């Protein structure tokens, strides 16, 4: 079917939904002026109007925005979610109510919040129970959209299996990461998490429960993946699995030359079975760097490493991981040594260690525990995540690390390449139009009381300068975990995908009930 044919069908679907909703709005007009009719809904779970619950739901990991909801819903079933959304949809344009699905609350700009609406606490949704299917060539696990990835890891490992693609931090919900993309050091090999999903169950903005996949309701399936919660709430997902290793050889090496650093990264992601995880990060004017690593990493040559001075330099760290089982250790060591011998890192900075698969994947949580103990976790996190085309990464790095970010950053700066071929262009996520592009993530934490370089205003100013530079130089950069203030900016973000994105919104969430915290579409309120 032609592109325009599909658009006509989308329009007709949306028109019929709006027509039926007008009838529903008239029939349910008495409900529209009484949001507390929600209390009468037949739910297995419950709605909370308690101030403590509302306060918790009005915050997120970014710790910068607070939107106070009217109620927080703790669903026990998918029907609870569908019933509530359908009820609000029937209210039509005369109701101000919107719905935000909240996973583990790790959004950065209030995306999981709603002002005066209903926050759905997805972690309360425990159905269906996790079901692991091992008896075929493509094992998979069926999980609730509110399940944490760390729980999936522990459960699938009981069967010697694990998901193929991860995020760096595992204490996030399935629905949350699939609504964005889910990117980590495995993405060059398996693609993002949205490239490793077979089926979804969705509750749309009209309260309809729909099962979808590449073969069933494909349009909704592709829309929701990376769709920022705009078309439906993910209540169940089928995640592809692979045989899990028991151990990981974890390696770090340093570069002072950015060209050599990126050349080696790009070489490694193009080689078959070289490494299972490839990331990198920028180190700016960091003192005693290698001494800090010694608590968890062993230098290849302790004498040489002790003479290395990192003070005052901008360095680039290549971080690698090779998965293995105990009986493979000798072969893996030889393989790793062979691949490392071809790289152009500073030889005295080779650090290696061996950890369990779980320890490696859950490594960020260890840092979280330490930061929480020092009261440094619940602070503002003005993160900036960018996808940058390979052809522009050198000019970007030269300007940003030479002119904007010149002091030690208050948090890691990640930089690593991924391959476009591992991403499905039919999904809603937006990426640069080059075969290889880089994720560059400024994962800063702000000191609340500071007016210095570690303060919120200074970091936000840096972020703004970076974005202005990208726009001024027309680098073709796209935000990941995007945040924009106007619909015109969102149009520019989506580019050629905007028309189909907005038309799908019209079909699956015609009253803009879902995910108001993204601030892409605004619910229209009428009083007559």
Residue 413 is inside which H or E element, if any? Answer: strand 413-419
Rounded CA separation 117/121 (Å): 13
Taking 3-state DSSP, the helix, strand and coil percentages for the chain, each rounded to the nearest 5, stand at 40, 20, 40
The C-alpha atoms of residue 266 and residue 437 are separated, in whole angstroms, by 10
| CA distance linking residue 101 with residue 80, whole number of Å | 13
Distance separating alpha carbons of residues 2 and 453, to the nearest angstrom? 53
Residue of 147, 219, 279, 362 with catalytic role: 279
- Single out the residue of 168, 161, 207 nearest to residue 187, CA to CA: 168
Among candidate residues 115, 133, 168, 368, the one labeled active-site is: 168
User: SS3 of 202, please?
Assistant: strand
Question: Which strands sit side by side in the sheet containing 247-255, from one edge to the other?
Answer: 298-299, 351-356, 247-255, 314-324, 277-284, 413-419, 436-442, 384-389, 478-480
Say how many C-beta atoms besides its own lie within 10 A of residue 206's C-beta: 23
Q: Is 106 among the catalytic positions?
A: yes
Angle (CA) 446 291 342, round 5°: 100
| Euclidean distance between CA atoms 40 and 255, whole angstroms | 63
The b-or-e profile of 425-439 (16+ CB within 10 A means b, else e) is eebbbbbbebebbbb
Contacts of 1 (CB under 8 A, 6+ apart): 9
**CA-to-CA distance for 114 and 107, rounded, in angstroms?**
13
Strand positions, DSSP E, 30-154: 46-48, 71-74, 99-102, 118-121, 131-133, 140-144
Report the alpha-carbon distance of residue 97 to residue 50 in Å, rounded. Answer: 18
Exposed (0-12), middle (13-18) or buried (19+): which is 404, by Cβ within 10 Å?
middle
Strands 118-121 and 99-102, bridge-based pairing:
parallel
The single residue of 90, 93, 104, 106 carrying the catalytic annotation is 106
Identify whether the C-beta of residue 118 lies closer than 8 Å to the C-beta of residue 73: yes
Query: Any catalytic annotation for residue 257?
Result: no
Q: Is 160 helix (H, G, I), strand (E, B) or coil?
A: coil
- Annotated active-site positions, please? 106, 168, 279
């Amino acid at each position: 079917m032609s592109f325009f044919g599909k658009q006509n069908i989308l329009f007709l679907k949306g028109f019929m939904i709006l027509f039926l909703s007008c009838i529903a709005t008239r029939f349910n007009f008495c409900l529209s002026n009484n949001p507390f009719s929600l209390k009468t809904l037949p739910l297995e779970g419950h709605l909370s109007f308690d101030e403590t619950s509302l306060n918790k739901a009005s915050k997120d990991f970014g710790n910068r925005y607070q939107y106070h909801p009217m109620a927080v819903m703790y669903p026990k079933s998918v029907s609870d979610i569908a019933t509530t959304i359908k009820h609000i949809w029937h209210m039509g344009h005369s109701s101000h109510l919107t719905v935000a699905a909240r996973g583990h609350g790790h959004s950065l700009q209030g995306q999981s919040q709603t002002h005066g609406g209903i926050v759905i606490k997805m972690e309360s949704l425990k159905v269906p129970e996790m079901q692991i299917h091992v008896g075929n060539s493509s094992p998979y696990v069926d999980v609730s959209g509110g399940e944490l990835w760390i729980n999936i890891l522990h459960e699938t490992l009981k069967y010697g299996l694990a998901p193929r693609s991860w995020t760096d931090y595992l204490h996030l919900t399935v629905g949350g990461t699939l609504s964005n993309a889910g990117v980590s050091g495995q993405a060059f090999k398996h693609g993002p998490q949205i490239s490793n999903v077979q089926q979804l169950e969705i509750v749309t903005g009209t309260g309809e429960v729909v099962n979808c996949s590449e073969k069933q309701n494909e349009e909704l399936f592709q829309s929701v993946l990376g769709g920022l919660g705009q078309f439906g709430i993910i209540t169940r997902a089928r995640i592809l699995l692979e045989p899990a290793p028991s151990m990981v050889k974890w390696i770090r090496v340093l570069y002072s030359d950015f060209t050599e650093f990126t050349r080696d990264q790009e070489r490694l992601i193009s080689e078959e079975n070289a490494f299972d995880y490839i990331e990198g990060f920028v180190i700016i004017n960091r003192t005693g760097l290698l001494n800090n690593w010694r608590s968890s990493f062993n230098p290849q040559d302790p004498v040489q490493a002790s003479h290395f001075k990192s003070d005052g330099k901008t360095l680039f760290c290549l971080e690698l991981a090779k998965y293995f089982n105990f009986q493979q250790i000798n072969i893996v060591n030889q393989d790793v040594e062979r691949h490392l011998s071809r790289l152009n890192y500073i030889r005295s900075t080779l650090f290696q260690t061996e950890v369990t698969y779980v320890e490696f994947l859950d490594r960020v949580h260890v840092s979280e525990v330490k930061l929480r103990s020092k009261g440094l976790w619940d602070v503002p996190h003005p993160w900036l995540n960018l996808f940058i085309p390979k052809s522009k990464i050198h000019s970007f790095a030269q300007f940003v690390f030479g002119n904007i970010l010149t002091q030690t950053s208050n948090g890691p700066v990640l930089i690593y390449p991924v391959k476009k071929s591992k991403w499905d262009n039919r999904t809603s996520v937006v990426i640069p139009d080059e075969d290889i592009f880089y994720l560059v993530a400024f994962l800063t934490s702000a000191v609340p009381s500071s007016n210095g370089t570690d303060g919120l205003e200074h970091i936000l100013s840096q972020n703004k300068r970076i974005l202005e530079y990208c726009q001024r130089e027309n680098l073709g950069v796209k935000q990941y975990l995007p945040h924009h203030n106007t619909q015109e900016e969102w149009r520019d973000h989506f580019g050629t995908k905007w028309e189909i994105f907005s038309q799908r919104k019209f079909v699956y969430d015609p009253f803009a009930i879902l995910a108001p915290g993204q601030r892409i579409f605004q619910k229209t309120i009428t009083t007559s």
